[in-house]
Amino acid sequence: MASAVVNIATAALDWVAVAFDAPFAGAVVFGVHINGHLVAEVLLIAVLLFQLTRKSYKPPKKPLTEKEIDDLCEEWVPEPLHPPITKEMKVEPPTIESAAGPHTIIEGKEVVNFASANYLGLIGNENIIDSCVASLEKYGVGSCSSRVFYGTTNDHIDCETRIAKFMSTPDSILYSYGISAIFSVIPAFCKKGDIIVADEGVHWGVQNGLHLSRSTVVYFKHNDMASLESTLEKLTNKKAEKVRRYIVVEALYQNSGQIAPLNSIVRLKEKYHFRVILEESHSFGVLGNTGRGLTEHYGIPIEKIDIITAGMGNALATDGGFCTGSGRVVDHQRLNGSGYVFSASLPPYLANAAIAAVNYLEDNPSVLTVLRRNISLVWEGLSDVPGLTMASDPLSPIVILKLKNSTGSLKSDLELLNKIVERVLVEDSILIVSTKRSVLDKCRLPVGIRLFVSAGHNESDIKKVSESLRRVACENWPDIA
């Protein structure tokens, strides 16, 4: 047994010696004789191959067992669906019991109404109501379908043509809700990778559109052209060929009552090659000699503004919204505007009301003179109210008064303003409102008291509101008065 092992061992050793002493197994490397280098290399390669075939060490991944998942699900406690209800949430707005014109009825009493954006005084207009009645008898109320299916009536197409003719653009497209116009238009044209420069004071509809578009959004200081120019300057180093760039502004900001200086914006847009999206909800039918909006006000040809959107729930005293621009812009939205394709169309009687309102505006441009006179009367009456200062543009029909000295937080400011507004309603029967902000709104502009001036108000209404506000403010801040 032992001799057999010794024999095998000597035989192996002989083989190794042969391998070592073979002529090709000798080498001279750097003057050193190495015998059996081939054997050494073969061994090295064998070791390498062995290591490569070993699996690398990973800490063992143990997936959760069913029981552990069950336990986690048992332990998990969700937050309640709504946060605790505060007393501000419980406050109900006043319920009006007649048409929301310049004079309305609340709880049986007649009240002067400064809370409705009825700028041209078209609420209660006989012509509009008659055309609506004819439309209701013909079409019923709703259109029961999307525009892409059988929800397009002749009235819709006529309304779009009428608005395009009024604005001197090739075409326009009608949306069924004012706020949905802007938040459908922006995602239709701006995609991921595009650049948008927007004013920080835009309202929630615009903010939602900007968020849904997934583009890069940069805000500039509210209505500050120097800030806009420096922002545009910083963003012009990208290649212009594939990236689309937009400036989004409102013509008349509903959060602050300021009017955008369109001439500077157009100059900057042409210098830096941006396109402009202009939101004209509160300026359509108000600014300009014949009510055609901000472009007429500044005397800029309408072709320079790429996309104009507006809600018709203000000056035109109807509901819905429209968007107008070049033919390409409007056609693109007929398949890509989500509020157009995926939603039911505007009720035909409201489209009829819009046509009647635009006809009225074109035939009676003097109503704008009345509106402007009313706004200046309101400014005269409210410019020296103690504790409050005028914060809006002198031409804006949304008159905003903010606190001279803020109490420190938006919440307490709003409480104080709500108290004043309530006293004015209860004691003097005048309905004015404070700017409400939702928690979801990103806008941080100061809050204030809002009055919507209409061409339907007369001088005594305006005198009443000035006297009432002055009296309540004096009582609230007796030391300043």
> Which residues 166-225 are close enough to bind another protein by CB under 8 A?
176-180, 183, 189, 191, 203-205, 208, 211-212
Part of the chain binding another protein (CB under 8 A), chosen from 4-12, 123-131, 390-398, 408-416 = 123-131
Based on CB atoms, which residue is closest to another protein, 241 or 363? 241
Which residue of 302, 341, 395, 416 would you call a contact of another protein, by CB under 8 A?
Answer: 341
Which residue of 26, 124, 394, 446 would you call a contact of another protein, by CB under 8 A?
Answer: 124
Residue 307 CB, nearest approach to another protein (Å): 9
- Position 44 contacts another protein (CB under 8 A): no
- Position 329 contacts another protein (CB under 8 A): yes
Q: Which helix (H) or strand (E) holds 354?
A: helix 348-363
Part of the chain binding another protein (CB under 8 A), chosen from 16-24, 114-122, 216-224, 463-471 = 114-122
- Position 405 contacts another protein (CB under 8 A): no
Which residue of 334, 423, 470, 471 would you call a contact of another protein, by CB under 8 A?
Answer: 334
Region for 405 from its dihedrals, namely left if φ exceeds 0, alpha if ψ lies in -120 to 50, beta otherwise: beta
Residue 327 CB, nearest approach to another protein (Å): 10
- Position 145 contacts another protein (CB under 8 A): yes
Specify the pairing of strand 449-452 against strand 398-403: antiparallel
- Position 139 contacts another protein (CB under 8 A): yes
- Position 431 contacts another protein (CB under 8 A): yes
Part of the chain binding another protein (CB under 8 A), chosen from 28-36, 37-45, 62-70, 466-474 = 62-70
Which residue of 128, 445, 447, 449 would you call a contact of another protein, by CB under 8 A?
Answer: 128
- Position 79 contacts another protein (CB under 8 A): yes
Part of the chain binding another protein (CB under 8 A), chosen from 46-54, 226-234, 335-343, 465-473 = 335-343
Which DSSP string do the residues of 301-345 spell out, in sequence order?
-GGGSSEEEEESSSTT-S--EEEEE-HHHHHHHHHH-HHHHSSBP
Based on CB atoms, which residue is closest to another protein, 158 or 224? 158
Which residue of 5, 49, 89, 108 would you call a contact of another protein, by CB under 8 A?
Answer: 89
Q: Are 453 and 114 in contact (CB under 8 A)?
A: yes
Based on CB atoms, which residue is closest to another protein, 146 or 263? 146
Instruction: Report the candidate in 389, 384, 385 with the shortest Cα–Cα distance to residue 404.
Output: 389
- Position 104 contacts another protein (CB under 8 A): yes
Q: Are 219 and 269 in contact (CB under 8 A)?
A: no
CA dihedral 125, 298, 443, 204 (to 10 degrees): 50
The three-state (H, E, C) secondary structure of 21-79, written as one string: HCHHHEEEECCEEEECHHHHHHHHHHHHHHHHCCCCCCCCCCCCCHHHHHHHHHHCCCC
Question: Which of the residues 226 through 265 are near another protein (CB under 8 A)?
Answer: 240-245
Q: Which two tokens stand for residue 2?
A: 């032992």
Which residue of 441, 470, 474, 477 would you call a contact of another protein, by CB under 8 A?
Answer: 441
Residue found under tokens 């949905």: 180
Part of the chain binding another protein (CB under 8 A), chosen from 7-15, 27-35, 47-55, 151-159 = 151-159
Residue 55 CB, nearest approach to another protein (Å): 27
Instruction: Report the candidate in 145, 157, 173 with the shortest Cα–Cα distance to residue 344.
Output: 145
Residue 94 CB, nearest approach to another protein (Å): 7
Instruction: Report the candidate in 307, 352, 339, 349 with the shortest Cα–Cα distance to residue 148.
Output: 339
Which residue of 123, 247, 378, 465 would you call a contact of another protein, by CB under 8 A?
Answer: 123
Tell me, by CB under 8 A, how many residues bind another protein: 116
Taking the C-alpha atoms of residue 297 and residue 291, their distance in angstroms, rounded to an integer, is 8
Taking the C-alpha atoms of residue 375 and residue 361, their distance in angstroms, rounded to an integer, is 18
Half-sphere exposure of 46 (CA within 13 A, CB side): 6
Cα–Cα–Cα angle for 445, 446, 452, rounded to 5 degrees: 95
